[in-house]
Amino acid sequence: MEQLTIFDNHIDREATIHKVKQFFEEYPRIVRLARRDNTGLSSPRMDGMPRGSNYGNSVERRLVQSIYAKQVVRETSEAINACDEFSKVVLRDLYLYGWSDKKTIRNIGYSESQYYHHVKPRALLEFAELYMLESLQAFKTKKQF
């Protein structure tokens, strides 16, 4: 198996694949947040009456959450589009279209063994390398390699 490195750091393939899978488990929720309509949000109302402490501005929090979700969706699309053709198809089928592994395997024409051992892991690793909003890559410590 080839040793993947970036800037002299050895990539932990299994941990990176796990991080990307976790990312895509949360992705449908992020898409929902990105699509939420924020036009109904209004400024806090000040009536001069004393109130209990409000731990943060919920309107501001929702706006920031929505803006960040939109950035994640945009960066995810850009990272997928930057992948090679097979990785792009696998990632789109699985995580943008919501297809099962079986349907994706039929779509790309590889055997199950090739898909699970080579094609899908490669797509996940490639996505981790190209996604720029946060680091999805995990690195081995000196003791691990």
Residue 67 in any domain: the answer is: yes
Q: How many folded domains does the chain comprise?
A: 1
Give me 103's structure tokens: 């349907």
Query: Quick one: pLDDT at residue 112?
Result: 96
Query: Quick one: pLDDT at residue 131?
Result: 97
Residue 46 in any domain: the answer is: no
Residue 64 in any domain: the answer is: yes
With beta carbons less than 8 A apart as the criterion, state whether 62 and 23 touch: no
Query: Quick one: pLDDT at residue 62?
Result: 84
Distance CA(131)–CA(75), nearest Å, equals: 7
Query: Quick one: pLDDT at residue 55?
Result: 54
**In sequence order, what DSSP letters do the residues of the chain get, joined into one string?**
-PPPEETTEEB-HHHHHHHHHHHHHHHHHHHHHHHS--TT--PPP--S------SS-HHHHHHHHHHHHHHHHHHHHHHHHHS-HHHHHHHIIIIIS---HHHHHHHHT--HHHIIIIIHHHHHHHHHHH--SS----B--GGG-
Domain containing 30 equals 9-37+60-132
Residue 145 in any domain: the answer is: no
Residue 15 in any domain: the answer is: yes
Query: Quick one: pLDDT at residue 1?
Result: 44
Give the pLDDT of the chain (145 residues) as one tens digit per residue: 455 555 456 889 999 999 999 999 999 999 999 998 765 555 555 565 665 555 557 778 888 899 999 999 999 999 999 999 999 999 999 999 999 999 999 999 999 999 999 999 999 999 999 999 999 999 987 665 5
DSSP 86: H
